[in-house]
């Protein structure tokens, strides 16, 4: 399967779906994107979904940019996502909140 096809398939998931499904592969942490091992914050989950291995290196900036663009395109404030994660909400609770906002926006249109 080509890289473009894989990326296209991956981009079809919503942020809440990524947090629910992909987040189960990691231990949730706070105040950082990654602990360098198996711990991730909410933004780190999205970065890892797009291929980030959790290490801080030159590729980290690119992976953060991809995650930021996805959030921006979805209309999600990156700082809000970070604050929800760092305040103690689980990945599922964050995803529930994002789904509620999506439903509200759909109803108001």
Q: What are the residues whose beta carbons fall under 8 Å from the beta carbon of 14, sequence distance 6 or more?
A: 74, 98, 102
- The tally of domains found in the chain comes to 1
Q: What is the pLDDT of residues 2-46, one digit of tens each?
A: 334 444 454 589 999 999 999 999 999 999 999 999 999 999 999
CA atoms within 13 A on the CB side of 45: 29
Q: Does 106 score more than 70 pLDDT?
A: no
pTM score:
0.80
Q: What is the pLDDT of residues 75-104, one digit of tens each?
A: 899 999 999 999 999 999 999 999 998 765
Indicate the burial class of 82 (C-beta count within 10 angstroms; 0-12, 13-18, 19 or more).
middle
Domain of 64, in residue numbers = 3-108
Q: Is 30 helix (H, G, I), strand (E, B) or coil?
A: coil
């Amino acid at each position: 399967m080509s890289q473009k096809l894989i990326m296209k398939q991956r981009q079809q998931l919503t942020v809440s779906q990524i947090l629910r499904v992909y987040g189960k592969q990691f231990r949730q942490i706070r105040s950082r994107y990654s602990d360098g091992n198996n711990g991730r914050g909410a933004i780190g989950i999205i970065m890892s979904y797009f291929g980030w291995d959790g290490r801080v290196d030159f590729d980290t900036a690119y992976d953060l940019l991809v995650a930021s663009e996805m959030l921006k395109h979805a209309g999600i404030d990156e700082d809000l996502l970070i604050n929800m994660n760092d305040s103690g909400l689980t990945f599922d609770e964050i995803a529930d909140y994002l789904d509620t906002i999506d439903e509200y926006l759909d109803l108001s249109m």
